[in-house]
Structure formats: C-alpha cells, structure tokens
C-alpha cells in the first residue's frame, strides 16, 4: 500500500488529453513539493515535473503538473504512442522523513 494514491491505469487515444491523479495527505503533498517520473521497463526513471509544476529542460510542454491541497495531477496533452509508460508521483513526507511514491499509473495509448 503506497502512501500516495494513484489510479493503477489510465488510457487514451493519440492526440487526446489524459490526466493522472495523485492523492496524499497534509504530511506530504499538503506541505511539500510534488514530483512526477516517467518509467519505461528496462530504463532509468525520468523526472518529468519538479516543484509541483516545473519542467526540466528537454521535457515537452505536453507534460504539465499541478497541485491543489493534498492532491496533484499530471496532464499529458497531444498523446503520443511513445508516452506509453508508468508514471509515478512523489513527495517528501514530514512524518515518515522519507520521499514517498505513488503506486504508479500505467498509461496505455490505444
């Protein structure tokens, strides 16, 4: 059972917009930054969003993060086949004194 809650799967067709939710609590998302990672099997995870809504250089504008209260979401617009991957949210937890991850959401591009 992960500290942060994500849907196990989301799907969309090419060109669509999809969102992935991430629910936490006051000790993590509610008081700390949210991060989003993309992971393809056999590769290293990739940071997509940091500090709730900031994109590292090289990450397409199609990926955007937002946060409200104890929840966050990642939006992917103009869905492409190469976006099919596992997406994880993460945040520092003041009670556990550790970074906590969501269980991961598998994005399928139909």
Partner 1 sequence: QLVESGGGLVQPGGSLRLSCEASGIPFSDAWMIWVRLAPGKGLEWVGRIKSKADGETVDYTAPVKGRFIISRDDSKNTVFLQMNSLKTEDTAVYYCSTPSSSWREGFDYGMDVWGHGTTVAVSS
Q: Which residues bind partner 1 (CB under 8 A)?
A: 2, 33, 35, 37, 39, 43-47, 50-51, 56, 86, 88, 90, 92, 96-104
CB of 17 to partner 1, least distance (A): 24
Distance, in Å, from the CA atom of 52 to the CA atom of 44, rounded to the nearest integer, reads 21
Q: Which is nearer to partner 1, 46 or 62 (CB)?
A: 46
Task: Return the number of the residue (13 or 97) whose C-beta is nearest partner 1.
Answer: 97
């Amino acid at each position: 059972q992960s500290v942060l809650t994500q849907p196990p799967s989301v799907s969309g067709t090419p060109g669509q917009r999809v969102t992935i939710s991430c629910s936490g609590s006051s000790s993590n998302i509610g008081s700390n930054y949210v991060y989003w990672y993309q992971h393809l099997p056999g590769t290293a995870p990739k940071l997509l969003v940091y500090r709730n809504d900031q994109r590292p250089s090289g990450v397409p504008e199609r990926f955007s993060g937002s946060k409200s209260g104890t929840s966050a979401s990642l939006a992917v617009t103009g869905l492409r086949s190469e976006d099919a991957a596992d997406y994880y949210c993460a945040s520092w937890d003041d009670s556990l004194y550790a970074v906590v991850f969501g269980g991961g959401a598998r994005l399928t591009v139909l």
